[in-house]
Amino acid sequence: MPAANNKSYCSIAKSLVGFLLLFVQISSIVQAQPGSGINMDDKLKSGLAANARIGDYLGSLMDSCIQNGVMGVDFHLYSIPFSDHTDDNDPKFKGEFWGKWYTSAMLAYGYQPEEAYKEIIDVSVKEILETQEKDGRISSYSREKTFDMWDIWGRKYVLLGLISNYEQTGNKKVLKAAGRLTDELIEIAGPGKTKLTETGLEVLGSMSSTTILEPVVLVYKHTGEQKYLDFAKYMVAQWSESNAYTDRGMMLIEDALEGVPPLKISSPKAYEMMSCYEGLCELYRVTGDQQYLDAVERFARSVIEREIMVVGSGSSAELWFDGAYRQTELLEQPMETCVTVTWMKLCYQLLRLTGDPLWADQMEVTLYNALMGAMNKSGDWWAYFSSLAGERMPSPMQVPQCNSSCCVANGPRGLLLTPLWSVMQNEQGPIVNLYNQGEWSVKLKNGHETRLIQETTYPQEGVVVITIEQDGDMEYNIGLRIPQWSKETLLTVNGESFPVTTGEYANIHRNWSDGDRITLHLDMRGRVIQAPGSVNDLAVMRGPIALALDNRMVESAGYNLWLHADGAVWHHKDELGGVDYVLPDTVSESGAVKYIQLNPVKEKKEEVWMAFEVPFLYRYTHFFGHEVRPLVMCDYASAGNGYSEENLFRVWIPQPLFMNDIFPEQTWKILYPGDIRPEFPETSNESITGNSWEDHNH
């Protein structure tokens, strides 16, 4: 056991730069084997990844991520920490890489079930199982160092990896190994033994260790053996007890239910905390205990209110920090990619459990902004932190022994979820969550198959056409997510209008025929977003996309500009002798949406996905000489993707915007204190091929 650790968060952050987490649910080909307990039905079931084909820009990024990233790595490196117990020595989180990578590899293989990928997942699971000791133990630490630092954390990822294999392959040998690994854990951390809440890093309030709740519940779900459920409940009970690290106890359920701000719950380590709540979702599934789901839902709503920034992620230096209210500042180490991914995974849990499209709304914004912006265009490397102003930087190489970093290993786990939640299913039929060019086939309750063909350039444009392909006529429902931001939406089926409600699913129940066409017009007007709190900064969103100023398209100049939303002009012709007198209307009324005219840039830079001319207002003097001077803004994911000290961007726009001081420079120093600016590793294609994603689109 580690001695009580008195390091501050700051020194911990320095000494452990990186480690993070996640796990993934795979669409189950193998049905859960119910134990003696309850198995709550998900309101929405995941799509089968192999039945989805995602196209367009998003699809090409996924392809790159799979080919160059997940399936292009030297995965043999990831089992070495377990065969040689190399986490006895720094950096001590090498044990997280096998499971992070393996769950990504299973997602990739589920989506693209190619023989070469099957071989990779088979070889790798064999390698990890060969490290299993006689009593079931699999650890990246030697036995003497059991419970040290990231021991249980690493085992958590191993378990998740093994379960992801079992859920797709049905390989009982792998499930058995997962059971034995859990048996040994119960042996050393069960009742009367070491409490997991007193292991791992004290500064994290032991949350890293107790995140193992999630796979322990999954082992129960698939084996039906009561001892695993008992152990899971025992772990959760410990959250409410005082321990050597905290007199008060972690109180993850009680505090969540009371709406305590995430910053004030236990240790504010964002990614670990969300992982604990992911485990609670799994525990709800097998127990039906409503307070577990209520706690997670309440917590996630607190995260939206207090932490999630305009591009769909949060955290500073890996911690919650009331970031929604501070996102206009120059932040220390904002939006760790592990947080971005775990937020998506938690939303994915809630989407399945509640069927509330709110969670898909959140996932869409995160996917198209924070997550996409964090991946390099060749798909083999990711950012550690991503700013809302300044420059983009790749993650440093944290763990040369594994040729990876926490966020590099985690990023694919968010991106490759897309096939699972883009089109889901309930009892009545398919549910479309994500609009994007692609094809999905869905097996209906009657055993027949229907195919949904999406033709669209969304989110570049707002028109989505979905064509039904199937044999004969069948009666069922198709649910279509109407995003909260889409205030004016048109939905037709074969030309006939259907009413919709913003923020809900539009359910079309009818007798569907081959060739039926659904046409959806989403509201792609530019929206002016007011910064939370009293800060007079504005941002511009278009559909799910946050826009940014980028210095490749905007030059500095010695004057002020004001963002010029619709309806901001008053004419006082009589009083002022026929001259327009303009009052910049900078602050929205609470809750009111302000719109702004955006004109697509026809000849945009190749490396930029979307670019628009946005009207800003120039004021020669406060009363007179006003004119509109458009600035070009691009999508956040493209902003700064030159990954250089020269390529600067910003999202939030102060009112007024002093054009001489738009882009903060040298921001890499508040992300990576010290003298070394991170570069892409030599192994990354990014360093060779520059930043044009189309080069990598095979």
**Least distance from C-beta 341 to Zn ion, angstroms?**
8
Stretch that binds Zn ion, among 82-90, 226-234, 331-339, 673-681 (CB under 5 A): 331-339
**Least distance from C-beta 314 to Zn ion, angstroms?**
13
Return the DSSP state at 107.
Answer: H
Who's near 370: CB < 8 A, 6+ residues apart? 309, 311, 312, 313, 335, 340, 386, 636
Query: Would you say 22 or 553 has its CB closer to Zn ion?
Result: 22
CA-to-CA distance for 363 and 359, rounded, in angstroms?
A: 6
Contact pattern from residue 351 through residue 390 relative to Zn ion, giving x for each residue in contact according to CB under 5 A and a dash for the rest: ----------------------------------------
Q: What are phi and psi of 506, to 5 degrees?
A: -90, 120
Tell me if 457 sits within 8 A of 56, measured CB to CB: yes
Query: Would you say 12 or 351 has its CB closer to Zn ion?
Result: 12
Stretch that binds Zn ion, among 5-13, 14-22, 205-213, 418-426 (CB under 5 A): 14-22
Query: Would you say 20 or 177 has its CB closer to Zn ion?
Result: 20
CA-to-CA distance for 277 and 255, rounded, in angstroms?
A: 12
CA distances from residue 314 to 347, 487, 641, 691 in whole angstroms, order as listed: 14, 26, 20, 25
Query: Would you say 253 or 331 has its CB closer to Zn ion?
Result: 331
Stretch that binds Zn ion, among 109-117, 294-302, 405-413, 513-521 (CB under 5 A): 405-413
Stretch that binds Zn ion, among 195-203, 215-223, 328-336, 629-637 (CB under 5 A): 328-336
When binding is defined by CB under 5 A, the residue of 407, 561, 653, 671 that contacts Zn ion is 407
Stretch that binds Zn ion, among 16-24, 295-303, 434-442, 657-665 (CB under 5 A): 16-24
**Least distance from C-beta 318 to Zn ion, angstroms?**
7
Q: Is the peptide bond preceding residue 91 cis, with omega within 30 degrees of 0?
A: yes
Tell me if 635 sits within 8 A of 609, measured CB to CB: yes
**Least distance from C-beta 91 to Zn ion, angstroms?**
13
When binding is defined by CB under 5 A, the residue of 12, 338, 346, 651 that contacts Zn ion is 338
Query: Would you say 360 or 406 has its CB closer to Zn ion?
Result: 406
CA-to-CA distance for 155 and 151, rounded, in angstroms?
A: 6
CA-to-CA distance for 564 and 566, rounded, in angstroms?
A: 7
Q: Residue 313: is it exposed, middle or buried by C-beta count within 10 angstroms (0-12/13-18/19+)?
A: buried
Which positions from 175 through 214 interact with Zn ion, judged by CB under 5 A? none
CA distances from residue 671 to 271, 369, 406 in whole angstroms, order as listed: 18, 19, 16
553 binds Zn ion, rule: CB under 5 A: no
Tell me if 386 sits within 8 A of 397, measured CB to CB: no
CA-to-CA distance for 400 and 240, rounded, in angstroms?
A: 39
Stretch that binds Zn ion, among 353-361, 404-412, 499-507, 528-536 (CB under 5 A): 404-412
Query: Would you say 270 or 611 has its CB closer to Zn ion?
Result: 270
Stretch that binds Zn ion, among 333-341, 413-421, 646-654, 657-665 (CB under 5 A): 333-341
* Pairing mode of beta strands 429-432, 474-481: parallel
56 sits in which H/E element: helix 56-64
When binding is defined by CB under 5 A, the residue of 20, 66, 265, 402 that contacts Zn ion is 20
Stretch that binds Zn ion, among 17-25, 85-93, 411-419, 637-645 (CB under 5 A): 17-25
Stretch that binds Zn ion, among 12-20, 363-371, 559-567, 615-623 (CB under 5 A): 12-20
When binding is defined by CB under 5 A, the residue of 270, 360, 406, 596 that contacts Zn ion is 406
* Pairing mode of beta strands 616-619, 649-650: unpaired
**Least distance from C-beta 271 to Zn ion, angstroms?**
7
| 3-state SS assignment for residue 363 | helix
**Least distance from C-beta 19 to Zn ion, angstroms?**
7
Query: Would you say 331 or 508 has its CB closer to Zn ion?
Result: 331
Query: Would you say 20 or 375 has its CB closer to Zn ion?
Result: 20
CA-to-CA distance for 86 and 99, rounded, in angstroms?
A: 16
CA-to-CA distance for 396 and 408, rounded, in angstroms?
A: 10
DSSP sequence for 397-463: --BGGGTB-HHHHHHHHHHTTHHHHHEEEETTEEEE----SEEEEEE-TTS-EEEEEEEE-TTSSSE
**Least distance from C-beta 18 to Zn ion, angstroms?**
5
Who's near 695: CB < 8 A, 6+ residues apart? 377, 689
Query: Would you say 9 or 325 has its CB closer to Zn ion?
Result: 9
Query: Would you say 159 or 338 has its CB closer to Zn ion?
Result: 338
Query: Would you say 61 or 407 has its CB closer to Zn ion?
Result: 407
Stretch that binds Zn ion, among 18-26, 420-428, 497-505, 620-628 (CB under 5 A): 18-26
**Least distance from C-beta 407 to Zn ion, angstroms?**
3
Tell me if 148 sits within 8 A of 1, measured CB to CB: yes
Q: Is the dihedral of CA 218, 109, 98, 268 positive or negative?
A: negative
CA-to-CA distance for 156 and 108, rounded, in angstroms?
A: 20
Whose tokens are 């009589």? That residue is: 574
**Least distance from C-beta 140 to Zn ion, angstroms?**
17
Query: Would you say 121 or 370 has its CB closer to Zn ion?
Result: 370
Stretch that binds Zn ion, among 43-51, 337-345, 462-470, 525-533 (CB under 5 A): 337-345
**Least distance from C-beta 90 to Zn ion, angstroms?**
17
**Least distance from C-beta 78 to Zn ion, angstroms?**
16
Q: What's the half-sphere exposure (Cβ side, CA atoms, 13 Å) at 482?
A: 22
Query: Would you say 409 or 545 has its CB closer to Zn ion?
Result: 409
Contact pattern from residue 269 through residue 298 relative to Zn ion, giving x for each residue in contact according to CB under 5 A and a dash for the rest: ------------------------------
Tell me if 310 sits within 8 A of 541, measured CB to CB: yes
Q: Residue 247: is it exposed, middle or buried by C-beta count within 10 angstroms (0-12/13-18/19+)?
A: exposed
Which positions from 457 through 516 interact with Zn ion, judged by CB under 5 A? none
For Zn ion, the binding residues (CB under 5 A) are: 20, 336, 338, 406-407
